[in-house]
Structure 1
Amino acid sequence: MADNERSRWGVLCVVLALTAGCGGDRLQNLSGPTMGSTWSVQYVQHADGPAASQVQAEVEGILAEVDRQMSTYRSDSDIERFNGLPANSCQPMPGPVLQLVQVGEQLSRDSDGAFDLTVEPLLDLWGFGPQGREEKVPSASALAEVLQRVGHGHLRIEGQDLCKDAPVEVDFNSIAAGYAVDRIAARLAQMGIDSFLAEATGELKAVGRKPDGTPWRIALEEPRDDQQVAQRVIALDGYGVSTSGDYRNYFEQDGQRYSHTFDARFGKPITHQLASVTVIHPSTLMADGLSTLLLILGPQAGWDYAEKHAIAGFFVMRADKGFVTRSTPAFDALLAGQKQ
């Protein structure tokens, strides 16, 4: 969907032992490009299950549909055609687009406007978006002008139409990959595939176990600019996982670091010490959105929100000599309940 997905994601890596099982079951591995990054599906293939080519076609069909509907990097997508409309316009939208707008409205409301799907003009202004040019701190006047075109409150749904009362632009990059993973997981289950690890641009969902009976294992990556280092390995069954981090797409000016993650209330990148947040949730869509929301809120407000809403979250903060980590009670309880 977007070239900047490479920098936003990649915070998770997968630890897999590609071992054969008994009774003809074996691990099958599929992958391909998507959203400016990649997708992969590892699954247990039963003797009477669908052919790998059929599974690949189904996955690619889902991802192509998501791209046609939600990509901000192609002018003919449903959301980009909407983004090009002036204020006081409406456009018929497919159900998935309206669903994600509703999820975005919920996350915006819950975060008092910090999370917002209409930040694309801000991304462009600061040089991070699809129409961005030079990465630099904008002038106060330019920021004030763009903020007039930001705010989820300018959107409304009327039947099957998405409408806007200001020239806002919607960007689904904070939740589209999680949605796509949920769609893939549901389709795999419909095809009779009962054990798999589905991933798109780093968002994951693990279901079942490998042929040897061991769980799917996910390695949370330490936030480093220079290399990938596994920080903690977790085993999961039936959950989606999303990590949002601010350490791969940023620029520095006058000694200040500016991330591509924005607090929509102020129109500026986050500047606190929270480097990344991992969320585990039954819905990969919600894990995707919540990890971004918590990252925006920061190390204390994000933690308070996660505790209040019993979110399974893993926080990584910058410290003087590296990083410190903190996991919520819900995170610890969930992992304790997962068979290792």
Structure 2
Amino acid sequence: MRFDRRDFLRLSLLPLLPSVLASCSETQEPVEATQIVFGTVVNLQIYNTDKQTAENAIARVESYFQQFHHEWHAWEKGGILSKINTAIAEQKPIEVADSVKNFILKSRQLTRESDGLFDPGIGKIIEMWGFHSEHWQGPPPEDSKIHAWLQSHPSLLDVYFKGNRLYSTNSQVQLDFGGNAKGLAIDLALQQLQQAGIHDALVSIGGDMKAIGHPAGRQEWNIGIQDPKNSQKAIAALHLNGGESVVTSGTYQRYFIWKGQRYAHIIDPNTGYPADSFSSVTVIHPDAITADSAATALLVAGPERWQTIAAKMGIQYAFCIGHDGAIQQTKAMEQRVKLL
């Protein structure tokens, strides 16, 4: 699915999508494509490459994204994740490819480093809240059902491997990698672009971005961090270097209101209820999977714990916006961000 430039300008103002700030010094227009995948806007920008090479590479990446969505969406029947969840529920082992195993093991390590605040094993509670679909309307699950889920305490840490056979010690585990699969997709997409001989590009999926090289006329990418209270305004700007990813997780886009109470889509694994600490958290890290996972973990951690969790996850650059607009950030991030 393609959009013209006007559609992208409108769609790029969605709350979780940091916008690339235009530079007057850029003399070459990028070869660009936009589509809807993973229920959000995907944008590719390729610089310093002839148009035909860029368009051929974009076509391959777009096809790859559609296949990736099918395989890794927790609710997509027939995909690898659906097969894994069925096997876990039936308490049967399942053989998986090396790439699947490696991603799950990496995610499990990130779960451990985050003290369980990022945990892809909580798919059942996400389903209970209705955030497995594209329409969120309530009602919230009953307290008794949340309590029963907490008693079973499903976690990605319950999953283990013997060779390439995946097992789980807990049948209530349901894997949902909505918290970091976009990071994996970005890393793999950029690998494909590099294999096609492209050295300067930006891939954006919703609130996740990663760059390689640099745009025409500049040595770095200019990125805007969206104001949670105004979808058409950037609250801050930062420079992104080639080889870095920037991810924003927020509670202000995907939510529903039930009887006057607002429920956001990011669930705290320790309570079974939506996290209600920061409005958004932006993280910079070379690895998009780590950045994606950490942004979720820091948002769940909230004002009291985010610095501790950032240190455990090896995060130098973090920028947190409270519901009241108050900003907390790491010392390193202060050197990268300019408030607008």
Q: TM-score, normalised by structure 1?
A: 0.85
Alpha carbons of structure 1 residues 133 and 32: separation in structure 2 relative to 1, 3 Å: closer
Matches within 5 A, 1:24-35: 27-35=30-38
CA contact (8 A) 2:42 2:206 kept: yes
1:16 to 11, 16, 22: 22
CA contact (8 A) 1:120 1:170 kept: yes
2:118 to 108, 115, 125: 115
2:204 to 185, 199, 204: 199
Matches within 5 A, 1:172-191: 172-191=177-196
**1:69 aligned counterpart, secondary structure:** helix
Alpha carbons of structure 1 residues 332 and 189: separation in structure 2 relative to 1, 3 Å: farther
Question: Counterparts of 1:280 and 1:128 in 2: how far apart (Å)?
Answer: 26
Aligned length: 322
Question: Counterparts of 2:76 and 2:283 in 1: how far apart (Å)?
Answer: 29
- Asked if 1:247 is matched to 2:252, the reply is yes
- Asked if 1:293 is matched to 2:297, the reply is yes
Question: Counterparts of 1:276 and 1:26 in 2: how far apart (Å)?
Answer: 31
Matching residue's letter, 1:123: I
Alpha carbons of structure 1 residues 7 and 79: separation in structure 2 relative to 1, 3 Å: farther
Question: Counterparts of 2:30 and 2:134 in 1: how far apart (Å)?
Answer: 41
Which residue in the other structure is 2:128 paired with?
A: 125
Alpha carbons of structure 1 residues 183 and 133: separation in structure 2 relative to 1, 3 Å: closer
1:62 to 58, 61, 64: 64
- Asked if 1:98 is matched to 2:104, the reply is no
**1:115 aligned counterpart, secondary structure:** coil
Alpha carbons of structure 1 residues 246 and 134: separation in structure 2 relative to 1, 3 Å: closer
CA contact (8 A) 1:28 1:52 kept: yes
Which residue in the other structure is 2:283 paired with?
A: 279
Which residue in the other structure is 1:3 paired with?
A: none
Q: What is the Cα-based RMSD across aligned positions, in Å?
A: 2.7
**1:107 positional shift:** 2.1
**1:76 positional shift:** 0.8
**2:35 aligned counterpart, secondary structure:** strand
CA contact (8 A) 1:124 1:131 kept: no
Deviates more, 1:176-185 or 1:299-308: 299-308
1:51 to 53, 64, 78: 53
CA contact (8 A) 2:239 2:337 kept: yes
Question: Counterparts of 2:279 and 2:31 in 1: how far apart (Å)?
Answer: 34
Question: Counterparts of 2:114 and 2:311 in 1: how far apart (Å)?
Answer: 14
**1:294 positional shift:** 0.5
Alpha carbons of structure 1 residues 32 and 121: separation in structure 2 relative to 1, 3 Å: same
Question: Counterparts of 1:51 and 1:269 in 2: how far apart (Å)?
Answer: 44
% identity of equivalent residues: 25
**1:207 positional shift:** 2.4
Matches within 5 A, 1:318-337: 318-319=323-324, 323-333=325-335
Which residue in the other structure is 2:223 paired with?
A: 218
- Asked if 1:73 is matched to 2:75, the reply is yes
**1:73 positional shift:** 3.4
Alpha carbons of structure 1 residues 9 and 166: separation in structure 2 relative to 1, 3 Å: farther
**1:166 aligned counterpart, secondary structure:** coil
Question: Counterparts of 1:20 and 1:295 in 2: how far apart (Å)?
Answer: 35
Matching residue's letter, 1:228: Q
Gaps of 5+ in 1: 1-5
CA contact (8 A) 1:241 1:284 kept: yes
Which residue in the other structure is 2:317 paired with?
A: 312
**2:327 aligned counterpart, secondary structure:** strand
Alpha carbons of structure 1 residues 311 and 9: separation in structure 2 relative to 1, 3 Å: farther
